[in-house]
Amino acid sequence: MAPAIETRELTKRYRGGQLAVDRLSLTVPEGAVFGFLGPNGSGKTTTIRMLMGLITPTAGTAQVLGRPMPRATRTVLPHVGALIEGPALYGFLNGRDNLLRYDSADPTADPRTRKMRVAQALDRVGLTAAAAKKSKAYSLGMKQRLGLAAALLQPRRLLVLDEPTNGLDPQGMREIRTLVRELASDGTTVFLSSHLLDEIEQVCTHAAVMAQGRLITQGPVADLAATTRGRLTVTTPDTADAARVLKEHGVTLTETTDTHLKAEPPPPETDLADLNKALVTAGVRVRGFGVERASLEDAFVALTGEGFDVAG
Ligand SMILES: Nc1ncnc2c1ncn2[C@@H]1O[C@H](COP(=O)(O)OP(=O)(O)OP(=O)(O)O)[C@@H](O)[C@H]1O
């Protein structure tokens, strides 16, 4: 089966000279929930705009649903639901009318089922109660939902969502994640960009990590985290003493709060049981002690050698 998205050496240099995407070769398997992860400015939106045929690459190729972009834009886009850079809304229209209008601009949409499909899409994103409200009165999160509803007006083979939870409160984020999982379980491939590592870990089967326009790594999420060693966490009210003992045993601390310490995993020759015993012997009251599974964030830091910060 052809991948849902495949790029080869895809490159974009903007007119001002900014190299936004640098020789990106990406493979998004059909049926995946693919997280496109990177700090602000790492080239995610630029990539998505090339994939959707909105801008032309400087070099390299992109295939979406097996067809070359931007050449096949007209045949490919009807199968793709996209939410990019916040939806274009008519503020003077209410949510429902925005969707009706959007759908009627789509030559492949059946006008006979329009009202029903709009109602279903509104329901799916939780906007039924706010459907009669003018969209200029919508919060950022409601606008984001309306954009998602627009992407869901028709069955799609691929959904491309640029930062879909941007501007949503935690409850709204959870709802969108649940929705993404539901859509994926229907067989739709979902490609979503995010700068939130835990979001990608929670919903994605696969991920690619970008930094400064370059691909750092890609693959199944479980594999990405598995290549990185986990973190040692000690929960204790006596963090100062615990820090001293850990350092004496060659452990590098990464985080200290009033209630716990986090550290690089101890060197392999150190037995965790001995380390725990050393803490207790030194009078540290240990409430919790263990090595956590590596997160995608750990993997990112290990891969790039830097924190997950905004590019300059
Ligand atoms: N139209 C443009 N003209 C010139 N430079 C641009 C343009 N759009 C983006 N850039 C630059 O290209 C780089 C990549 O930007 P891009 O928006 O693709 O990143 P991003 O990963 O999507 O970030 P964010 O999460 O902030 O949207 C940035 O340095 C940005 O300043």
Q: Which of 255 and 269 is assigned the larger pLDDT?
A: 255
Assembly ipTM: 0.94
Buried b (16+ CB within 10 A) or exposed e, 252-275: ebeebeeebbebbbbeeeeeeeeb
Whether 18 shows a pLDDT value over 50: the answer reads yes
Q: Which of 52 and 224 is assigned the larger pLDDT?
A: 52
Ligand 1 center to 6 CA (angstroms):
21
Q: Which of 173 and 6 is assigned the larger pLDDT?
A: 6
> Counting atoms of ligand 1 from 1, which one is nearest the CA of 38?
21
Q: Which of 86 and 73 is assigned the larger pLDDT?
A: 73
Q: How confident is the model at residue 310 (pLDDT cuts 50, 70, 90)?
A: very low
Ligand 1 center to 19 CA (angstroms):
9
Domains belonging to the chain, first-starting first, are 5-219 (3.40.50.300), 231-292 (3.30.70.100)
pLDDT at position 86 is: 65
Rounded-to-integer distance, Cα 216 and Cα 308, Å: 13
Residue-wise pLDDT for 205-221, tens only, equals: 999 988 889 998 899 98
Whether 302 shows a pLDDT value over 80: the answer reads no
Whether 312 shows a pLDDT value over 60: the answer reads no
**Atom 1 of ligand 1, nearest CA residue:** 14
Q: What is the mean pLDDT of the chain?
A: 88
Whether 266 shows a pLDDT value over 90: the answer reads no
| Three-state secondary structure call for residue 280 | helix
Strands 189-194 and 231-235: unpaired
Nearest to 160 by CA among 72, 83, 244, 274: 83
pLDDT at position 142 is: 86
Q: What is the pTM of this model?
A: 0.78
Residue-wise pLDDT for 134-156, tens only, equals: 999 998 888 888 988 998 999 89
Residue-wise pLDDT for 55-76, tens only, equals: 999 999 999 999 999 999 999 9
pLDDT at position 22 is: 96
Structure tokens at 280: 């207790």
pLDDT at position 121 is: 94
Ligand 1 center to 34 CA (angstroms):
20
pLDDT at position 130 is: 93
Rounded-to-integer distance, Cα 67 and Cα 6, Å: 10
Q: Please answer whether residues 127 and 149 qualify as being in contact, where contact means their C-beta atoms are separated by less than 8 angstroms.
A: yes
Q: Please answer whether residues 86 and 145 qualify as being in contact, where contact means their C-beta atoms are separated by less than 8 angstroms.
A: no
State if residue 16 touches ligand 1 by the CB under 6 angstroms criterion: yes
Residue-wise pLDDT for 277-297, tens only, equals: 999 999 999 999 987 766 666
**Atom 25 of ligand 1, nearest CA residue:** 40
Nearest to 197 by CA among 126, 306, 301, 92: 301
DSSP string, 178-245: HHHHHHHHTT-EEEEEES-HHHHHHH-SEEEEEETTEEEEEEEHHHHHHTS--EEEEE-S-HHHHHHH
Ligand 1 center to 218 CA (angstroms):
21
> Counting atoms of ligand 1 from 1, which one is nearest the CA of 49?
18
Cross-strand pairs, 5: 28, 64
Rounded-to-integer distance, Cα 25 and Cα 33, Å: 18
Whether 131 shows a pLDDT value over 60: the answer reads yes
